[in-house]
Structure 1
Amino acid sequence: MYDLIEGMAMTLTETLKGMIGLDPTSHADDDMKAVLEAFRSLKPKPIETCSVAEAREQPTLADAVRKLLTQAGHATRLPLEVEAVVTEDIKIPAGGDAAGTTATNAARVYTPAGEGPFPVILYFHGGGWVIADLDVYDATPRSLAAQSKAIVVSARYRQAPEHKLPAAHQDAFAAWHWLVENAARLGGDPLKLAVMGESAGANLAINVSIHARDTGLPPPIHQALIYPVASNNIVSISYEANRKAQPLNKKMMLWFVQNVINDERDLSSLLIDVVSADLSNLPPTVVVTAGIDPLRSDGERLAEKLRAAGVAVEHREYHGATHEFFGMAPVVQAARDAQAFVSLAQRQAFGGVPLESTG
């Protein structure tokens, strides 16, 4: 028996060694490849070779999607309701040391067409806690506001390395406090609040749920975690298989982590290593993972840990998609499918009648 296990381990090791030299995006869906090709045409520098200032100026996947939409054959494929979403830029209080001061963070409120009060979703964007902003991650909250028939509040947070761990998390907690108190003022139903995030933002989202549980705040009634950062394991199967993936690879993740942490002790923080935290009594959850993503194993393990803790979980993986695909619904079918999956779960959590599928 032990010989069999050892043999399987050696086979896995050899397989991973073979995969490390390959570009896993060669297995991407055709429409996903088109986005990656458009992205490469913008000539971004590898993030891990950049200073933070340079990294924040690099072309983004959102730029690549916009470029594709200017080309023949790439007409947008989104429900008409998305065009009817109204936005308002506001300021909300910052957290941590900034709490109780005049310090604020930017936020953008997305309101769907129709009569409220609407459910409200607090959304956190990705970017490794270092780069990106509300504009880069405009597509997801805009689309989900329409499809989930909910107000979406996309909340900015302080970024590293200027503000290291736990500044972003403190701002996320402050955003939840603020939303609990102000949902009705936004036209929302304070009894129907949910949380959602992508990548580093998904890490913030689940930490908000944990924070609400532990502090006695009204909890989210649902959480959607899109390719979450959920562990400190950088030698997982997906990290090794996606060493050379695009748009996110192992070297990039290490660059993000080094900018976020104060020292190596932070790697053991449960804010990062969420899979080691107490995950009991958290809201019903959907987890979305991409097949071509170093964070795939994080999402898979988090879904398993949540189920083991008694949380209702739906997990769906999109094998031919890469990290960051979720907001590419105008040009990527997997993104349309994933958004439909998430919005259906959100509408069911809110108790509304599901809309017809938007494909």
Structure 2
Amino acid sequence: MALKQRLTDANHRLQALTVRGALALPEGVQRRLAGKPVIRDGQTLATDTQLALRLQRLAREVGAETLPIPEGRLAILRHSSITGGRQPIGAVRSLPMGNLKGRLYVPSGQVETPGPTLLFLHGGGWIYGDLDSHDAACRFLAERSGVRVLAVDYRLAPEDPFPAAYDDAVAAYRWLVANAESVGADRDRLAVGGDSAGGCLAATTAIEAAREGLPLAFQLLIYPGTDHTATGGSRAMFAEGFYLTSDFMDLATANYVPEGFDPRDPRLSPLYADLPKGLAPAYLVTAGFDPLRDEGEAYARKLAEAGATVELKRFPDQIHGFFNIVGMGRTSRAANAEIAAKLRAALA
């Protein structure tokens, strides 16, 4: 067993080196290796992303959704370790947040205390992901933005289905507001954010914060899932071949949403929420080749119609999951650097 594990680890290291090396090549060389440009809906997939997807297929790296959930969780960690690399950060410490576990990322050279702080909720379809799966992304975001990032390890389905993750996200934000001083956070410069399922949780947490009158200066919503009933549009157009698949989304919904619950429950699908006044300004990010693109952009329009300040940014050449690609390539890192700059500016 030990030998098999060592061989597996060596294979993963070789795979990581291969992908990172390929994505460091000149764009012209990458294009020849990636093949004919992929164009959908008037958008061209980034060459380095196309090459990474091709290498994933050649390595026969299967999607997490094709495995039993415990093995799928390990696959997600493996994918994130390959794409995230080792990112610098000033300091990291673990801390309890009531009944939850948290991890605080403090940027290098940050001397301002109290300072701006983002509560971060990871993606993974409510069934995958943890503090480690998004460690590199949180390091990158904190270091590039100069904002403290407090990541939360919320409960996952199927062990703890809806509304466990929603309840944990709201409880974590209430904890941050009540304990801001203990993590060096400025209560006037608090933000909530997340990617994918975490973007959904961030959106619904921001709604609850507005209803409760909790201080919240900003919401960072990275390709959030906002509609559990969505089927057409981008969900159909990008259902296969671009990392997030329809099978993944179906598995997530089947395990997170218990039988008998309305999938339009606004705690599940904020696109159907009755939005309150006083919502925090939002920066909502979508990816051009993402099944969740249309519902994310629909939620941005809903926020604007409700009177909230919202900036919508589509990265047309990116796929779902690019937030975790901070350790290789150029285009995803550039997009993430732009996101970090927006966070910095919003909480300056």
Q: Identity percentage over the alignment?
A: 33
Aligned letter for 2:106? T
Structure 1 residue aligned with 2:221, among 218, 221, 225? 225
* RMSD of aligned alpha carbons: 2.3
| CA displacement at 1:24 relative to structure 2 | 6.4
Which range moved further: 83-92 or 329-338?
Answer: 329-338
In structure 1, what is the equivalent of residue 107 of structure 2? 112
State yes or no: 1:203 paired with 2:221. Answer: no
SS in 2 for 1:58: helix
Cα distance change, pair 159–37 in 1 and its aligned pair in 2 (3 A): same
2:172 paired with 1:178: no
Query: Who is 1:51 aligned against?
Result: 68
Secondary structure in 2 aligned to 1:234? Answer: coil
Determine if the alignment matches structure 1 residue 33 to structure 2 residue 50.
yes
Change over 3 Å in CA distance of 1:258–1:190 after alignment to 2: same
Which digits, 9 at most, give the CA deviation of each residue in 1:32-84, with x for residues without a partner?
A: 12332443455333434332222212254323326xx7xxxxxx9xxxxx624
Number of equivalenced pairs: 306
**Structure 1 runs (4+) greater than 4 angstroms displaced:** 22-27
Q: How does 1:251-330 map to 2 (within 5 A)?
A: 251-279=247-275, 280-330=277-327
Residue 262 of structure 2: SS of its match in structure 1?
Answer: helix
Instruction: Give the distance between the partners of 2:74 and 2:181, measured in 1 at CA.
Output: 37
TM-score of the pair, normalised by structure 2: 0.82
Q: 1:33 to 1:272 in 2, by over 3 A?
A: same
Q: Is the aligned partner of 1:65 residue 2:62?
A: no
Structure 2 unaligned segments of length 5 or more: list them: 1-37
Instruction: Map 1:137-148 onto structure 2 (within 5 A).
Output: 137-148=134-145
For residues 123 and 248 of structure 1, do their structure 2 counterparts lie closer, same or farther at Cα, with a shift above 3 Å needed? Answer: same
Letter in 2 for 1:151: R
Q: Secondary structure at the match of 2:81?
A: helix
Tell me how far apart the structure 2 counterparts of residues 349 and 46 of structure 1 sit (CA, whole Å): 35
Tell me the TM-score normalized by structure 1. 0.79
Whether the 8 Å contact between 2:158 and 2:256 is mirrored in structure 1 is yes
Residue in 1 that maps onto 2:148: 151
Amino acid of the structure 2 residue aligned with 1:152: V
Is the deviation greater in 201-210 or in 232-241?
232-241
Q: Distance in 1 between matches of 2:283 and 2:232?
A: 22
1:90 maps to which of 68, 87, 95 = 95
Give the superposition deviation at 1:298: 1.3
Structure 1 residue runs without a partner (length 5+): 1-21, 70-75, 77-81, 94-103, 353-359
